[in-house]
Structure 1
Amino acid sequence: MGRITTIRRALAEGASPLADLLYPPRCPSCGDAIGAQGGLCAACWSQLVIPGDPSCAACQRPFGDHGPPHGALCGPCLAHPPLHDGIAAGTLYTDVSRKLVLALKHGRRIALAPMLARLIAARIPAADNDRLIIPVPLHRWRLWQRGFNQAALLGRELARAGHGRLVVDGLTRTRATPSLGGMGARARTKVLTGAIAVTRKQSIAGRNVLLVDDVLTSGATTTACVKALKKAGAKTVLVACFARVLDEALDQARQTKRPESEDPGRHVTK
C-alpha cells in the first residue's frame, strides 16, 4: 500500500507542471494568480479567521485575548450543556470562507477539499487511529442532484491524513428536509426529529466518532446527528467543520490584527 501511494504521489508531481501550464494556479476566492494549485493568495489568507485560545472547554468558542482562564465554559454551554464532546472548526465564517464553501459545494470545485480539510485537521486534537470519521449525510435526492457529499469529501481527506477511518454511510438522512434558514430553534428541532438515523449501530457502539461537515451554523443538524450517534452507543462525538458561524467571536477577532511576522505564503502553497 505504501508503494502504491508513493507511485501515485510521483505521478501527480510529474503531471503538476503540465497542469499548471494548462490551468494556471489561481486563488479560488479572488481569482488572482498564486504559486501553486490548491492554495490561497496572501490577501485572502489574511482574511481567514482561525479560532484560537482561550476558548470554551466544551465547545471551543473563542473568548478573545482577555477571556476567562483555561477550563471555563461559555454562556450557551452553561445554559444548555452540549451533547457533543467538542468542536474543531478550521475557520470562522467570513466572506472568504463562504466563497470557498460555495465553490466546493455549488461550484463543484472538489479539488478544494484537501485544502479545507488541512485547516480542519490543524484543529483536531490527537487521538488513536481507531476513531471513526462520519460525514453529516445528505438526503439521497440532494446527493443525486449534487453528485457528491461535500462533508464526505472532507472526511475522506481527514482519513487520508490519519485522523481515523472513514465510514461514509455511518449516518443516513431518512427524509428530505427544507432549509433551516429563518427558523427558530423549536422549528428546527421539529423538522429534524427522526430525519437522521444510524445505519451501522453495531460498529458505532463504544467508538469515538469524528462528525464532519462543511459549515456549522445553528447546530441543529449537528445536534440531530450527535443524538443519533450517542443513542447508538458512540463513546464520544467530536464535531469537525471547515467554517463555524460565530458572529460575536468574529467581531472580537477582527479587532486583533494578524502579527506582521506571520508569513501567509507558508500556508497558501502547500
Structure 2
Amino acid sequence: MQVHPLIAPVVDLVFPPRCPLCGDGLAAQTGLCSACWSELAIPGEPSCVSCRRPLDAAQSAGSICAPCMANPPRHAGIAAATLYNDASRKLVLALKHGHRIALAPMLARLMAAQLPEEIGPDWLAVPVPLHRWRLWGRGFNQSALLARELAGLRGVEVGIDALVRRKRTPMLGGLGRSARAKALSGAFATGKGWEARLKGAQVLLVDDVLTSGATTDACLSVLWRAGVRKVMITCFARVLDEALDHV
C-alpha cells in the first residue's frame, strides 16, 4: 500500500522511516538503508538463456546451464529479484510471517526490474495459491500481494484465483524429488470460470521464494493442461546457493 504524498510527512512524523532489516533511520518509507541494499544478492549477467540462472563470468552470453541441458524447463525463464541469502530471507519472513505487508511494493519493484520488456498488458499475473486453511490462518497470500503490485507496475491483468490449491501439502524441505512430486500431485487446479481466459494466455506465475521448483512445476502442469501459450516465473528470492559466488 502506497502512502499518498500529501499525508506522507504526517506518517513519517508519527512513524519515523526505518530500514526494515536493521532498523536504521531512512529518509523515506520506501526501501532499505544503503548498507542493507548492498547485502541483497541481485542476479546479473551472464545467465542461462533458458532459466536465467547466473553463470560464471567466464561463460559466454547465450550459454545454457547444466541443469537445463539435462532437463529442459517447461517455462520461458525465471525472473528473480534476488538470490536467497540472509538479507532476502529476513525480508520474506517479515512479509510472510511478520505480517509486514507494506514491504510488498518494494519487493515487487525489485521483481519488476528483472522482468523482460515483453511483459505487459497482454499478460496475466497468476500467484501461486495458498490452501484456504493456510490463507485463513495467515490472513493473506503473499504471492497475491506481489502479483497485485506487479500488475500496477507493468500493466498486466491479475488472476488472483486463476489457480486454486485443492489440498494442503506438507513442508517440502528435506524431501526428495519424487517425494515432492507425490506430495504435490493433484494439489492445484484452475479456478472456477478461468478456463476460457487461460486458454492461449501468456502467464506470469508469481511466487515469493523459488526453492526446488516443485511447487511452480506443479502449477505449470495445470496451466499447460489449461492451454496457456507461454509461462514465465517471477519470484522475489531464488534459492541457488551455488550461484551466490557469481553475483
Pairwise TM-score range, normalised by the shorter structure: over 0.9
Match of residue 265 from structure 1: none
2: CA distance, partners of 1:143 / 1:164 = 24
CA drift at 1:70: 2.2
Pick one of 118, 131, 135 that aligns with 1:139: 131
Instruction: Write the mapping of 1:112-123 to structure 2, written as runs, cut at 5 A.
Output: 112-123=103-114
Match of residue 101 from structure 2: 110
Match of residue 172 from structure 1: 164
User: Which portions of structure 1, spanning 4 or more consecutive aligned residues, are displaced by more than 3 angstroms?
Assistant: none
TM-score, with structure 1 as normaliser: 0.88
2: CA distance, partners of 1:149 / 1:240 = 16
SS in 2 for 1:120: helix
Query: Aligned pair 1:126/2:120, yes or no?
Result: no
Percent of paired sites with the same residue: 59
Give the letter for the 2:117 counterpart.
A
CA drift at 1:198: 1.1
CA drift at 1:38: 2.4
Match of residue 175 from structure 2: 183
Counting matched residue pairs gives: 244
SS in 1 for 2:134: helix
Instruction: Write the mapping of 1:142-221 to structure 2, written as runs, cut at 5 A.
Output: 142-199=134-191, 200-221=194-215
Deviations 1:229-269 (A, max 9, x none): 0111110100000000100110232xxxxxxxxxxxxxxxx
Match of residue 56 from structure 1: 48
Pick one of 57, 61, 65 that aligns with 1:74: 65
Structure 2: state its 5+ residue gaps.
none
SS in 2 for 1:209: strand
Query: Aligned pair 1:235/2:235, yes or no?
Result: no
Match of residue 33 from structure 1: 25
CA drift at 1:177: 0.5
Report the RMSD for the aligned CA atoms in angstroms. 1.3
Query: Aligned pair 1:43/2:30, yes or no?
Result: no
Conserved 8 A contact 1:132-1:208: yes
TM-score, with structure 2 as normaliser: 0.96
Give the letter for the 2:170 counterpart.
P
Deviations 1:21-43 (A, max 9, x none): 11110010111111110210111
Q: 1:163 to 1:71 in 2, by over 3 A?
A: farther
Conserved 8 A contact 1:38-1:111: no
2: CA distance, partners of 1:162 / 1:84 = 20
SS in 2 for 1:47: coil
SS in 1 for 2:234: strand
